[in-house]
Amino acid sequence: MSDVTITRLAAQGKLTLKGDLTAATLATAVADVTGLDMVAAREIRRGDDRGLAWMAPDELLLLLPHAEVPSALAAIDSAMGDTPHLAADVSDARAVFRILGDPRRILAKGTPADLRPSKFGPGEVRRTRLGQVAVAFWLMDEDAAELVCFTSVADFVAGWLDNAAA
């Protein structure tokens, strides 16, 4: 294998939050749960053990400690009040991989996304395909990326990443 390290991360809490991303109540709910400011389109913010990623014009992915998922769901529902939204625990339905080394080179082997530095940089999310399966990934910096996929295809993605790194 090359100088690239691929690791499947331990269980982490993951929430999908759908709603009007411009609503003040949604931004407040997100800040209460993650401690992070709202993200713009195709952006991710990461804290020590938390993250907030834009997934679609009406969808966010919240990353947080697994033990906090039930209280986070309750806090979101409370903060949102009557504002239409959907908050769902997707912790067991998603797997996260960390790619250390040269993530652009690895990811470019299997995604149609434009990964040139002028088009994709740290703090940006791409929701796309990798090896013909749905994924989202982001650069943490030029030497590290994280990738999220459905748990049902995690073994395939792990093998694909290992082959691409070899």
Is residue 164 within 8 A of residue 158, CB to CB? The reply is: no
What gap in Å lies between CA 63 and CA 49, rounded to an integer?
A: 8
CATH number of this structure's domain 93-165, picked from the four choices 3.30.70.1290, 3.40.50.720, 3.40.50.1370, 3.30.1360.120: 3.30.1360.120
pLDDT tens by residue, 22-34: 999 999 999 999 9
Which pair of structure tokens corresponds to residue 164?
Answer: 């691409």
Q: What confidence tens digit (pLDDT) does each residue in 40-50 have?
A: 999 999 988 99
Closest of 96, 157, 153, 147 to residue 126, by C-alpha: 147
CA nearest 157: which of 79, 66, 95?
95
CB 111 within 8 A of CB 161: no
Give the pLDDT score at 48. Answer: 83
CATH class in words for 13-92: alpha beta
Task: Region of 101 please: left (phi>0), alpha (psi -120 to 50) or beta.
Answer: left
Torsion-angle region of 124 (φ positive above 0: left; ψ -120 to 50: alpha; else: beta): beta
What is the structure's pLDDT at 11?
85
**C-alpha–C-alpha distance, residues 72 and 87, integer Å:** 9
What residue spans define the domains of the chain?
A: 13-92, 93-165
Q: In 3-state terms, what secondary structure has residue 38?
A: coil
Predicted confidence at residue 1, as pLDDT, reads 45
Mean pLDDT of 100-126: 95
Fold equal for 13-92 and 93-165:
no
**Residue 89: predicted pLDDT:** 97
| CA-based max dimension of the chain | 52
Kindly report, residue by residue over 115-153, the tens digit of the pLDDT.
Answer: 999 999 999 999 999 999 999 999 999 999 999 999 999
